Structure 1
Amino acid sequence: MTSTTVDAAPRRGSRALAVLQRIGRSLMLPIAVLPAAALLLRFGQPDMLGKDGLGWIRVAEVVGGAGQALFDHLPLLFAVGVAIGFAKKSDGSTALAAVVGYLVFDQVTKIMFSHSADLKGQVLITKVTDGTAAPAIDFGAKNPTDVLGGILIGVVAALLYQRFYRVKLPTYLAFFGGRRFVPIVTALAALVLGVLIGFIWPVFGGWLTDFGNWITGAGAAGAGIYGVVNRLLLPFGLHHIPNSLIWFVFGSYNGPDGVVHGEINRYLAGDPHSGGFLAGFFPVLMFGLPGAALAMWRAAPPHRRSAVGGIMISAALTAFVTGVTEPIEFAFMFVAPVLYAVHVVLTGVSMAILNAAGAQLGFGFSAGGIDMLLNASKDNTKGLPLIIGMGILYFVIYYFLFKFLIVKFNFATPGREPEDVESVAADPGSNPELAGGGKKPSRRRKPDAQEAEPAESPSPTTG
């Protein structure tokens, strides 16, 4: 085996990891819509603005409808968000291509599914014309591919944009060149993809449903595995991929507004058996990691403690209120992998214990105080005192365990780095080679005339 062959495998693996990381990062844009959708939907429910709350029934209907609209069109939002996030140089034509592609994909797959024995019940309705009942395709029904179809179209639109956004066509077709060509080619690709998915999805979708039912039906073990996998993939930016499956795909509930899929959608729709795969995050994100942040603060040397405290206390408050914990986790995951391994195990334990205890609590954004307050009074929220009690216990465990391990093994958590490292970090100009990796910043070369992006043809109305 030659050295070239040996080196090729790691390069292929690194390229695959880079692609998965891009997909994971691109999922953040559509997921960022969820807080707005969850807030609107929650305030529009009967116990908030509705008849059992403030009694503003019409206002509740409008507000709830606004939130429901976003959840009903999550696949389209994922298509647009993934296309913009995955493309290296995205612009408005990327989003337009994603919209065009998903609309074509949605209609084509529904036509294909109408001929499938397993899926036709999800896309066909009975219409009565002249007293005669006949089956017809319900193009307004939710697509069985759900958000996975949107993600797939988003990736395709992004790749086609990168390939064709500079394409030049013959003079008589020049108006359709460049970025204007991207939505056209995306529509054609979505047509072909829709036909392929029409043949593949009845089998693949069945496997996916069976796997989702196994995970959600595994109870405490399934929740624990999900918690461990979620935190293990965080350093690589891949945790959004299993999150998307658990949150928006696995499990189904036939609610008042139709069938919904995924743990978040089911919980917000009122499924009495949902939220068990989300409740375990609250003790970790709201309480445990803030305890870890305070431990890193107190473990810092006295002369650095004030600087570290400002950062860690701010990060702890952010985690407690919003559930955003990356600033805390990235403070120790690379400098102290042992601490991160402990964090992974504790996350799995929390998920498993609360699931086994029957606790249920969901969120629209993350497991923070805002979502806890909003959803505390929901009918399908269960075991809230247990969740809070376990959170307090986790705060104590994280604080003392992290502080002990940091001091015992002298981990270089914030404030405990060597003095020379801190001085360079505080004043990068004092040692530009260390601060900049030994390289001086290079001036950006102006593009040559041949490299310049071709101007798009003017519109016929202005020409």
Structure 2
Amino acid sequence: MSSAGATAPQTTWWHGFYGGLQKMGRSLQLPVAVLPAAGILNRLGQPDVFGKDGLGWDNVAKVFASAGGALLDSTLGLPMLFCIGVAIGMAKKADGSTALAAVVGFLVYYKVLHAFPEHCKAPTVLVSDQCVDYSSAKSANATYQNPGVLGGILIGLMSAWLWVRFHRTKLVDWLGFFNGRRLVPMITALVGMLTAVLALWVWPPIGRGLNDFSQNLADLGAGGAGIFGLFNRALLLIGMHQLLNTFVWFQFGEFTKADGTIVHGDIPRFLAHDPTAGQFQSGFFPIMMFALPAAALAIAHAAKPHRRKEIYGLMLSVGLTSFVTGVTEPIEYSFAYIAPALYGVHALLTGASMAVTWGLGVHDGFSFSAGLIDYVINWSLATKPWLIIIIGLCFAAVYYTLFRFIIVKFDLKTPGREDESEVEDVTKA
């Protein structure tokens, strides 16, 4: 057998695996897109907006806080959103029955987990779903195994596979009512039950391992924030940064709100007023609001004279998108693959921004991304948010200078600097 023939299966396997990971990353974007609504609702329900310290509309504040809290709930709301989003994104030609199957599987899984509360610590005893201390007449909610968002993603993946595998299955005639799409929810219910039973056994060591890793990263302080920022941008190139974000943003850490509700994850904890949250979010604001728009300006200034007007329009659009919403992919993909050196500089500087911001005591966060909208909405929840402007302007100057110098010095073919033959071919296509 030739060497080419021997390596072909490996290449096919790798491409399939890589493509699956990319598809997974895109699937995670769907539930993430819901978070802006959750963040706005949660913010409007805070005491300083509609609550007692703001307009004084306490009942209105409760409505908004409950609505936002339902989506940000780390035990039910968030995991179910990710479960449905992954099921729809990963299944070929998904439809409403795909989502229904995912919901059925997740609810069964969730209820089985909650049938087995963890033992209450002495002197409390378990009564229903409460740990009761009769000596002090106090009680607290019992705790359960909580794979959280990762559990939701797992159920979503299995639901997608089961739907693709069985949605056209035909049973014997007397069971014909349960053919195809009606069969899938029944199977996902059984799989959800088995997954929950397995999770009760295997999740504790896995959860501790993931939490210990994230805690070690957090214990590094500014250095840990920098490492996270570097790998976040590096993985964006292959569409897998959401895999890194999921545990840290939505599951790591624990904070107890004033009403006794426990929330997990850097984003929910920040929105719940946890003063220690934001380590894995704060440093993105200077990059997305200031640095990347400055990079877009450098790309436009480095364009060939006769194409600058065209490139100015393009870069202004993507720069404003990054500044206002924090959506950076249009800028980053405009140079990532044609000038990898620039993207390497960008990834390193993102890590530097994360480290500097956290090192200077800035605690800020977002519900969707680090753009102007989240910056303004969450101003009163943040610590030293004004420093972000100063840090951002400094990084903007660094980005503009480095990008302009590297593009011109090494004649990189960024937008507006392509060879004329390439421009013509693109136009004809």
Q: Tell me the TM-score range normalised by the shorter chain.
A: over 0.9
**Contact 1:105/1:191 (8 A) holds in 2:** yes
- Distance, in Å, in 1 between the alignment partners of 2:362 and 2:285 is 11
Q: How many angstroms does 1:296 deviate by?
A: 0.7
- Distance, in Å, in 1 between the alignment partners of 2:141 and 2:280 is 35
Q: 2:130 matched to 1:125?
A: yes
Match of 1:452 in 2: none
- Distance, in Å, in 1 between the alignment partners of 2:144 and 2:272 is 15
Let me know the Cα RMSD of the aligned residues: 2.2
- Distance, in Å, in 1 between the alignment partners of 2:89 and 2:337 is 26
How many residues get paired?
A: 416
Read off the aligned partner of 1:22 and give its amino acid letter.
K
User: Normalising to structure 2: TM-score of the pair?
Assistant: 0.92
Match of 1:461 in 2: none
Match of 1:355 in 2: 358
Match of 1:214 in 2: 216
**Contact 1:359/1:384 (8 A) holds in 2:** yes
**Contact 2:338/2:413 (8 A) holds in 1:** yes
Match of 2:82 in 1: 78
Of 230, 235, 238 in structure 1, the residue corresponding to residue 237 of structure 2 is: 235
Read off the aligned partner of 2:72 and give its amino acid letter.
F
User: Normalising to structure 1: TM-score of the pair?
Assistant: 0.86
Q: 2:263 matched to 1:260?
A: yes
Q: 2:22 matched to 1:18?
A: no
Matches within 5 A, 1:297-312: 297-312=300-315
Aligned with 1:377: secondary structure?
helix
Q: Which moved more, 1:61-70 or 1:91-100?
A: 61-70
**Contact 1:216/1:251 (8 A) holds in 2:** no
Read off the aligned partner of 2:189 and give its amino acid letter.
A
Match of 1:144 in 2: 146
Matches within 5 A, 1:53-452: 53-72=54-73, 73-112=77-116, 114=118, 124-126=129-131, 144-257=146-259, 258-378=261-381, 381-428=382-429
Q: Which runs of 5+ in 2 are unaligned?
A: none
Is the radius of gyration larger for structure 1 or structure 2? 1
**Contact 1:276/1:358 (8 A) holds in 2:** no
Read off the aligned partner of 1:33 and give its amino acid letter.
V
Q: How many angstroms does 1:303 deviate by?
A: 0.7
- Distance, in Å, in 1 between the alignment partners of 2:86 and 2:223 is 31
Read off the aligned partner of 1:64 and give its amino acid letter.
A
Aligned with 2:334: secondary structure?
coil
Q: How many angstroms does 1:109 deviate by?
A: 2.2
Read off the aligned partner of 2:388 and give its amino acid letter.
I
Q: How many angstroms does 1:62 deviate by?
A: 1.2
Aligned with 1:330: secondary structure?
helix
- Distance, in Å, in 1 between the alignment partners of 2:114 and 2:144 is 9
**Contact 1:111/1:137 (8 A) holds in 2:** no
Counting aligned pairs with the same residue, the percent is 50
Read off the aligned partner of 2:398 and give its amino acid letter.
I
Aligned with 1:346: secondary structure?
helix
- Distance, in Å, in 2 between the alignment partners of 1:414 and 1:137 is 57
- Distance, in Å, in 1 between the alignment partners of 2:222 and 2:316 is 33
Read off the aligned partner of 1:290 and give its amino acid letter.
P
Q: How many angstroms does 1:373 deviate by?
A: 0.5
- Distance, in Å, in 1 between the alignment partners of 2:320 and 2:145 is 40
What CA deviation, in whole Å up to 9, does each residue of 1:192-242 have, x standing for no partner? Answer: 111111110122112122122112222111111100110000011000111
Q: Which runs of 5+ in 1 are unaligned?
A: 429-463
**Contact 1:112/1:199 (8 A) holds in 2:** no
What CA deviation, in whole Å up to 9, does each residue of 1:162-216 have, x standing for no partner? Answer: 1011111111111111111111111111111111111101221121221221122
Q: How many angstroms does 1:145 deviate by?
A: 1.1
Read off the aligned partner of 1:94 and give its amino acid letter.
T
- Distance, in Å, in 1 between the alignment partners of 2:175 and 2:220 is 57
- Distance, in Å, in 1 between the alignment partners of 2:173 and 2:132 is 49
- Distance, in Å, in 2 between the alignment partners of 1:214 and 1:10 is 36
